[in-house]
């Protein structure tokens, strides 16, 4: 598709169009403190999101995100002087977005935290009953348990204590484990087990209600993302030791008891509380080795998986310490977001309705499905969103860990997820067909509310051709034109990950669509070509050959696949449901050679004569000239210098010429 030259009502010259169209990779930056306050899955680098918003939405224009998630699109929009509408069926999305963006009174927040701290650490509190222990060295009875390592062997019915770590005001940090087979460890273990068994009885004295949620749907099917014992006992309480669970019940109770004078601070401390839950759970695995070598002191892991589990070997981390650690992140994050609020023309303030949306109230958040938008036709300037990845991340299930502790009716919540969450989940009765059907509902609504000639950018992360096809097909079937598929690497990626190109993509696809000036009803529809297997095979072979000829050197298939979908779409044969079949056939053909590293190139007898100069050599030539002409511009710190050079390379080498980040880094290092 030839993209239109009229953007924002102004006719642009070719140079301006080239500057507007973002068709090269942007070097991502690590998350700023405001985005480190609370975990959420697949959070996109804010600098990249902001770059797209500034390119495709005018000042004070409206940005829509129909799958809001943690709210990066919303926040970067308002801090770039745009208006933002965020929609998500999950109430946690609203909760995270609001608490990330809202201006905080740091003094009042500190005061509220101190009230909680005084209540927790006062004499004879529930905290002291649960975590105080006698020091084995000096007999100080006020030592505090910091970590316990639990281990369940195959022959054991229950987990047993393997190691105890505590902090004594006199002796410092102490580690005692089952290698010390002495009476001290045995007696200490018995004392701690007694605390564990009686933990919930300490709560009954204060008449505090114990929240619990079944990890089951209304059809009695257990959540799909459960592992180990949780499949037998699918309940929230099974994610915690009784000690940590009892303390967390007590902690959320005293946070909720804060006076109305601290209403905003109460919400922020609840935000801090939910952010601490995973590290206070059993999902904290024990790290025994680093780089294949056993560690002298075992290290604390974290909840890195997209499922609930109770590993056989886990750390119980002091839940109050978890909260205090997260509070420091919260405070730093709010200082950061306060600066963003102060430095922008618009600040984070919620509008009550679409008609109320303005630069003074630039944020509209809806906790509902995006299949029906209460928005007028042709009112949105730009859409940037990160839709659900098929069955990759079960947002509704995983958010139960957080929502269960907040003011959320969990029965109603689970019903809402079953009805409205767009996902592939067989336990909810949702398959690929229903996933694509519901996405079409959303994108038809987006097509309606987006202004003609404007853009929508989707980000996506899934290795399955079928799921990616379902997503793209659900968009183009609503009338959108596919403009480009761009691959973005994440902010932090290891050398090992960079080299692992045949597996899961280590970054995200940024797919740009445009709403044409004429609707499908007003223009001639382009029909998909009907081709037999051999014709399709030849087209795919020719397209891959075209990519390799332009790059002029062996290339990982990850990069080939990035350009292939776009080429097939423009050849009117997209999507191809069984693309894997043709790729496998080409792998085994005599035309292409696949190296041990997974790089594709022509076999010796099939190398075309019109291959361009190797991309690596082109980059080396460009870099040599660039450094001569711009040495003073890059004579900065090594990190800043490298980032600037990376960005210049990706501006120069676009589209099919986009270079591999790892190989580009090697070229820069040699320069």
- Whether pLDDT at 501 is above 70: no
- Identify the three-state secondary structure at position 567: helix
Q: How confident is the model at residue 597 (pLDDT cuts 50, 70, 90)?
A: confident
Which pLDDT score is estimated for 154?
A: 84
pLDDT at 468 over 90: no
Has residue 339 been placed in a domain?
no
Output the pLDDT for position 10.
Answer: 38
pLDDT at site 504: 43
Q: Is the pLDDT at 541 greater than 90, yes or no? A: yes
Given this model, what pLDDT does residue 529 score? Answer: 58
Q: For position 8, what pLDDT does the model report?
A: 34
Whether residue 572 sits in one domain with residue 549: yes
Secondary structure of 232-278 in HEC code, one letter for each residue: CCCEHHHHCCHHHHHHHHHHHHHHHCCCHHHHHHHHHHHHHHHHHCH
pLDDT of 519 reads 60
Query: What confidence tens digit (pLDDT) does each residue in 414-461 have?
Result: 999 999 999 999 999 999 999 999 999 999 999 999 999 999 999 987
Comparing CA positions, the residue from 486, 540, 484 lying closest to residue 514 is: 484
pLDDT of residue 629: 78
Residues whose CB is less than 8 angstroms from the CB of residue 181 and which lie 6 or more positions away in sequence, other chains included:
none
d(CA 45, CA 51): 10
Indicate whether 531 belongs to any domain.
no
Residue 638 has pLDDT above 70, yes or no: no
| 449 contacts 425 by C-beta, under 8 angstroms | no
Please report the pLDDT score of residue 17 as a whole number.
44
Buried/exposed code over 73-102 (b: 16+ C-beta within 10 A; e: otherwise) = bbbbbbbbbbbbbbbbbbbbbbbbbbbbbb
Q: What is the mean pLDDT of residues 88-112?
A: 98
pLDDT at position 572 is 80
Domain shared by 65 and 121, yes or no: no
484, 483, 482, 481: which is closest to 517 by C-alpha?
A: 481
Q: CA-CA distances (angstroms) from residue 406 to 102, 273, 324, 328, 409?
A: 19, 10, 19, 21, 9
Q: Do the beta carbons of residue 135 and residue 171 sit within 8 Å?
A: yes
* 530 belongs to a structural domain: no
% of the chain residues with pLDDT over 90 = 68
| Contact predicate 544/592, CB 8 Å | yes
Closest by Cα among 61, 55, 52 to 85: 61
Q: Does residue 569 share a domain with residue 631? A: no
Co-location of 329 and 456 in the same domain: no
DSSP run (H or E) holding 189: helix 183-204
pLDDT of residue 162: 94
Cα–Cα distance measured from residue 448 to residue 369, given in angstroms and rounded to the nearest whole number:
16
Beginning with the edge strand found earlier in the chain, give each strand of the sheet holding 481-488 in spatial order: 363-366, 83-87, 62-65, 380-385, 450-460, 508-514, 481-488
Residue 162 has phi, psi (to 5 degrees) of: -105, -30
State in Å, rounded, how far the first CA of the chain is from the last one.
38
Q: Is 216 found in the same domain as 166? A: yes
CB 117 within 8 A of CB 140: no
Residue 521: per-residue pLDDT:
52
User: Considering the domain boundaries, does residue 599 fall inside one?
Assistant: yes
pLDDT value at position 635? 54
Q: What pLDDT shows up at residue 632?
A: 57
- Please check whether residues 323 and 430 belong to one and the same domain: no
293 and 355 together in one domain:
no
Residue 45 and residue 28 in contact, taking contact as beta carbons nearer than 8 Å: yes
Q: Could you report the per-residue pLDDT of 110-162, keeping only the tens digit for each?
A: 999 999 999 999 999 999 999 999 999 999 999 999 999 999 988 888 899 99
Determine, yes or no, domain membership for 1: no
CA torsion through residues 638, 639, 642, 647, sign: negative
**132 and 63, same domain (yes or no):** no
Q: Is pLDDT at 484 greater than 70 in this prediction?
A: yes
Least trusted range by pLDDT, from 440-449, 597-606, 629-638: 629-638
What percentage of residues in the chain have a pLDDT greater than 70? 89
pLDDT of the residue at 205: 62
**Res 557: pLDDT:** 86
pLDDT classification of 494: cutoffs 50, 70, 90: very low
Average pLDDT in the 364-369 region? 98
Closest Cα to residue 169, out of 214, 198, 195, 137?
137
How far apart (Å, rounded) are the C-alpha atoms in residues 487 and 500?
15
Domain boundary among 594, 612, 630: 612
Looking at the structure, do residues 229 and 177 belong to the same domain, yes or no? yes
Task: Please report where in the chains the tokens 């006719």 appear, as a residue.
Answer: 11
Q: How far is CA 511 from CA 210, 468, 488, in A?
A: 45, 11, 11
pLDDT at residue 663, rounded to an integer: 82
* Residues 128 and 68 both lie in one domain: no
Q: Tokens for 500? A: 């692992």
Q: Looking at the predicted structure, is the pLDDT value of residue 386 above 70?
A: yes
Q: What mean pLDDT is reported for the chain?
A: 88
* Helix boundaries (H) for 478-607: 495-499, 533-551, 557-570, 579-587
Please give the residue range of the domain that contains residue 243. Answer: 106-333
Reported as type and span, the H/E element at residue 447 is: helix 432-449
Flag whether pLDDT at 365 surpasses 70. Answer: yes
Residue 341 lies in a domain: no
Does the pLDDT value for residue 571 go beyond 90?
Answer: no
What pLDDT shows up at residue 633? 59
pLDDT surpassing 60 at residue 5: no
**Which CATH number is 41's domain given?**
3.40.50.150
- The pLDDT, as a whole number, for residue 491 is 61
Residue finishing a domain among 570, 593, 612: 612
* Calpha distance 512→444 (Å, rounded): 16
413-422: long-range pairs with CB below 8 Å, 24+: 413/91, 414/217, 414/218, 415/218, 416/89, 417/89, 417/90, 418/217, 418/218, 420/89, 420/368, 420/369, 420/371, 421/89, 421/90, 421/388, 421/395, 421/396, 422/387, 422/388
Question: How many folded domains does the chain comprise?
Answer: 4
| Whether the bond into 137 is cis, omega within 30 of 0 | no
Cβ atoms of 475 and 482 within 8 Å: the answer is yes
Distance CA 86, CA 95 (A): 12
Rounded to whole angstroms, how far apart are CA atoms 267 and 548? 54
Distance, CA of 419 to CA of 219 (rounded, Å)? 12
pLDDT of residue 9: 33
Q: Which of 333, 363, 380 is the last residue of a domain?
A: 333
What the block records as the tokens of 186 is 């045995």
pTM: 0.88
Based on the domain organization, do 658 and 594 belong to the same domain? Answer: no
Q: Are 106 and 335 in contact (CB under 8 A)?
A: yes
**Which tokens hold the place of 10?**
């102004």
- Largest Cα separation within the chain, whole Å, is 86
pLDDT for res 181: 64
79 lies in a domain? yes
> Residue 355 has what DSSP assignment?
G
pLDDT in tens, 191-234: 999 999 999 998 876 667 778 899 999 999 999 999 988 999 99
Q: Is the pLDDT of residue 554 over 90?
A: yes
Do 619 and 593 belong together in one domain?
Answer: no
> Do residues 293 and 246 make contact, with C-beta atoms less than 8 angstroms apart?
no
> What pLDDT was estimated at residue 490?
64
The tens digit of pLDDT for each residue in 20-54 reads 566 677 878 889 999 999 999 989 999 999 999 99
Selected residue with higher pLDDT from 561 and 353: 353
Does the residue 605 lie in any domain? yes
Asked if 71 and 100 touch (Cβ cutoff 8 Å), the reply is: yes
Q: Is the dihedral of CA 73, 75, 77, 79 positive or negative?
A: negative
């Amino acid at each position: 598709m030839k993209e239109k030259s009229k953007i924002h009502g102004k006719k642009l010259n070719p140079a301006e169009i080239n500057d507007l169209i973002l068709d090269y990779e942007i070097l991502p930056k690590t998350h700023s403190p405001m985005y480190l306050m609370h975990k959420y899955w697949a959070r996109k680098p804010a600098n990249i999101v902001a770059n797209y918003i500034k390119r495709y939405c005018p000042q004070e224009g409206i940005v829509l995100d129909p799958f809001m998630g943690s709210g990066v699109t919303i926040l970067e929009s308002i801090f770039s002087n745009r208006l933002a509408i965020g929609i998500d069926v999950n109430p946690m999305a609203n909760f995270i977005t609001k608490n990330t963006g809202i201006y905080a009174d740091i003094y009042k927040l500190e005061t509220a935290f101190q009230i909680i701290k005084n209540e927790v650490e006062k004499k004879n509190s529930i905290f002291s009953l649960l975590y105080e222990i006698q020091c084995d060295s000096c007999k100080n009875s006020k030592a505090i348990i910091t970590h316990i390592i639990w281990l369940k062997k195959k022959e054991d019915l229950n987990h047993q204590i393997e190691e105890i770590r505590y902090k004594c005001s006199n002796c410092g940090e102490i580690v005692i484990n089952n290698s010390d087979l002495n009476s001290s460890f045995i007696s200490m273990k018995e004392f701690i087990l007694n605390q564990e068994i009686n933990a919930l009885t300490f709560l009954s004295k204060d008449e505090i209600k114990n929240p619990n949620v079944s990890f089951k749907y209304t059809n009695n099917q257990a959540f799909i993302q459960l592992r180990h014992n949780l499949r037998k006992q699918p309940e929230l309480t099974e994610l915690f030791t009784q000690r940590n669970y009892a303390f967390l019940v007590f902690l959320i109770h005293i946070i909720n008891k804060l006076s109305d004078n601290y209403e905003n601070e109460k919400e922020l401390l609840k935000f801090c509380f939910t952010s601490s839950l995973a590290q206070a759970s059993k999902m904290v695995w024990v790290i025994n080795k680093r780089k294949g070598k056993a560690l002298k002191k075992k290290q604390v892991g974290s909840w890195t998986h997209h499922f609930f589990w109770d590993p056989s070997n886990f750390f119980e981390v002091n839940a109050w310490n978890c909260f205090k650690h997260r509070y420091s992140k919260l405070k730093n994050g709010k200082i950061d977001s306060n600066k963003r609020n102060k430095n922008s023309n618009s600040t984070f303030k919620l509008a009550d309705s679409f008609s109320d949306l303005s630069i003074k109230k630039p944020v509209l958040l809806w906790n509902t499905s995006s299949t029906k938008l209460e928005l007028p036709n042709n009112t949105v300037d730009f859409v940037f969103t990160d839709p659900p990845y098929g069955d990759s991340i079960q947002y509704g299930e995983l958010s139960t860990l957080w929502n269960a502790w907040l003011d959320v009716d969990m029965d109603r919540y689970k019903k809402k997820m079953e009805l409205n969450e767009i996902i592939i989940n067989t336990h909810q009765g949702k398959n690929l067909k229903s996933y694509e059907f519901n996405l079409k509902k959303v994108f038809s609504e987006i097509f309606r509310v987006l202004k003609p000639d404007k853009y929508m950018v989707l980000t996506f992360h899934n290795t399955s051709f079928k799921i990616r096809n379902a997503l793209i097909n659900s968009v183009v079937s609503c009338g959108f034109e596919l403009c480009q598929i761009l691959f973005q690497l994440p902010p932090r990626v290891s050398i090992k990950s960079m080299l692992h190109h045949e597996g899961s993509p280590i970054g995200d696809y940024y797919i740009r669509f445009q709403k044409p000036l004429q609707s499908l009803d007003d223009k001639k529809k382009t029909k998909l070509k009907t081709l037999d297997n051999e014709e399709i095979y030849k087209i795919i072979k020719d397209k891959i050959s075209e990519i390799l000829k332009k790059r002029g050197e062996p290339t990982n298939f990850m990069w080939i696949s990035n350009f292939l979908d776009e080429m097939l779409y423009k050849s009117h044969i997209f999507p191809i449901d069984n693309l894997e079949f043709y790729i496998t056939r080409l792998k085994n053909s005599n035309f292409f050679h696949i190296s041990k590293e997974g790089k594709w190139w022509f076999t010796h007898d099939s190398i075309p004569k019109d291959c361009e100069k190797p991309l690596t050599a082109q980059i080396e030539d460009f870099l040599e000239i660039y450094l001569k002409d711009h040495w003073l511009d890059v004579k900065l710190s090594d990190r800043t210098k490298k980032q600037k050079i990376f960005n210049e390379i990706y501006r120069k080498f676009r589209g099919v010429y986009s270079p591999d980040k790892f190989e580009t880094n090697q070229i820069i290092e040699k320069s």
